[in-house]
Amino acid sequence: MELTTVIPVFNGERFLRTTLECLAAQSRRPDRVVVVDNGSTDGTPDLVRGFRGIPCEFHRNPSNLGVIGNLNRCLEFASGTRFLHLLMADDLVGPEFFARLLPPLSEAPGRALGYSLHDEIDQDGRRLGPARSGPGGPARRIGLNEFLRGQSELRHVLLPGVVLKTEFLPAPCRFENMPQVADALFVAEWAAVSSAVVEVPEALSHFRIHPFSASVRHMHDADQFLRDEWRFMQRILPMFQEGPLCLALRRRRLACLFAARAQVKIDVMAHLDPVKAAEFSRVRRELVGPTARWAGTAVVRCRDLLRRLAGKPGRAHELMQSRGGTPGKPDPTQEPQGSTHRP
């Protein structure tokens, strides 16, 4: 097969039809579409078997492997295709996604990675916030350090917008058990062993924010919502190809960035669960020193002040509004159905 899209799913009936329809609408369709079901108890199996827009294979795991296990199960298709696309069951790609990505990616020898920019949409498919389309124009190759800078600062490429050039080889890396950042780390590791990283500077993929997404499901868990981000930043640092001084400065920058991101999460929790807010504060003190904490908090407070002067809400309130207000408890029958999201 030349191009294979694999969709991991668990109880994804809510959004899966729209996801399959976006593949059927491609100007360059996948040669193979595989849905890997993780033991769904809703109408997912019937939906896939009954879908007529594009031929779909339905593979059901013998038991539920968990989110990360099912993603790694999807990687088993890498050696049977030249290009592999992993699409979460609630995300979408625009009709020119493959047509734009495949030609420049084909020119890279061996393993490579291509991606488009993305927009965020809500559970009804409406775009959240301003359009994120870049300058447009032709695809471009970007250096590894430039790519890793965005990944390490969690301005990262999201999985629905990524096409992996496998050249019929097994995947060189796997998803690790850090659900909130697993895709960001995986993509960085793939890029580090790639002959080229290709960017199409247009928003051709669409990441869905909804009450059942990974970010909502994990947002009360300090281990997944805070510690995993810190572990991820430490894991990605050795991938940079730069000298000791630059690496030391980058390490300090990431500590300050982590402290600022943690402050936003503390502010969100202060509205939702004050006990958790106190726990998040303790975890931040455990992971970064006082200088980074002071700098991170100062940046967040200054930014929020400028936003309020401009008549906009602070970042924490903006995040809660973009998710439809105060999130409730996640549905225990739902696994997280999207890529990770960054506060």
Which residues have C-beta within 8 Å of that of residue 31, sequence separation ≥ 6? 1, 2, 3, 4, 81
Instruction: Name the residue with higher pLDDT: 124 or 112.
Output: 112
Sign of the alpha-carbon dihedral angle for 66, 69, 71, 76: negative
Confidence label for 221 from pLDDT (cuts 50, 70 and 90): confident
Closest among 235, 253, 252, 160 to 192, alpha carbons compared: 235
Task: Give the model confidence (pLDDT) of 77-120 as tens digits.
Answer: 999 999 999 999 999 999 999 999 999 999 999 999 999 999 98
Where are the chain's structural domains?
Answer: 3-208, 219-322
Give the helix/strand (H/E) hosting 27: none
Q: What's the rounded mean pLDDT across residues 140-165?
A: 95
DSSP code, position 226 = I
What confidence score (pLDDT) does residue 115 get?
97
Compute CA distances 328 → 25, 155, 219, 316, 324, whole Å.
34, 26, 11, 16, 10
pLDDT mean across residues, the chain: 89
**Model confidence, pTM:** 0.89
CATH number of 3-208: 3.90.550.10
Over 70: is that where the pLDDT of 218 sits? no
Task: Give the model confidence (pLDDT) of 295-323 as tens digits.
Answer: 999 999 999 999 899 998 888 887 776 65
What confidence score (pLDDT) does residue 5 get?
98
DSSP letter for each residue of 280-307: HHHHHHHHS-HHHHHHHHHHHHHHHHHH
Which residues have C-beta within 8 Å of that of residue 135, sequence separation ≥ 6? 201
Task: Give the model confidence (pLDDT) of 240-271 as tens digits.
Answer: 999 999 999 999 999 999 999 999 999 999 98
